[in-house]
Amino acid sequence: MRVVIDTNYFLAILPKKSIYRPIFDAFRQSKFELAVSSEILDEYAEIFEQKMNAEISANIIELILKQPNSIRTEIFYRWELITADYDDNKFVDSAISANADFIVTSDKHYNVLEQIPFPSVKIISLREFLFFF
């Protein structure tokens, strides 16, 4: 299974006491593929640094990059499917480029994707994704 994880939801899987921690553990055990673009990694680094600190942020990004199940995506076309929050398009574009099964998020801005037949981008909540592990 290949997914893209929205930044705030990636943050939720990191704490050892988080109910969503099994998702991060599954990632480290290569039980799913994580698709990330340079833009996504930049946002992860920025937000992780704000929420934690620069060293922890750098360690998480390094871990993501070194994981054999991390798929680096290159964005050749910007679909601009989300108009309510343009920044969310980086996740959509990466999901399309990587042919991901899902974007893991509960952000309401992504609901518009349900109305767009092509390209098809499926959304799954963190809680739903947790059931895979």
Please report, for residues 8, 81, 96, 115, the alpha-carbon distance to residue 11 in angstroms, rounded to integers and kept in the order given: 5, 24, 22, 28
**Residue 65's pLDDT band (boundaries 50, 70, 90)?**
very high
Segment 113-128 mean pLDDT: 88
8-state DSSP, 30: T
Mean pLDDT in residue range 38-44:
97
Q: Please check the confidence at residue 17 and state whether its pLDDT lies above 90.
A: yes
As a whole number of Å, the CA-based R_g of the chain is: 14
User: What per-residue confidence (pLDDT) applies to 110?
Assistant: 77
Say how far apart CA 112 and CA 82 lie, in whole Å. 7
Assess whether pLDDT exceeds 90 at residue 43: yes
pLDDT of 5 > 90? The answer is yes
pLDDT band of residue 18 (cuts 50, 70, 90) is very high
pLDDT given for residue 39 in this prediction: 97
Q: Collect all residues with Cβ–Cβ distance below 8 Å to 116 and sequence separation of at least 6.
A: 81
- Average the pLDDT over 6-30 and give the result: 97
- The model's pTM is 0.91
Q: What mean pLDDT, rounded, does the chain reach?
A: 93
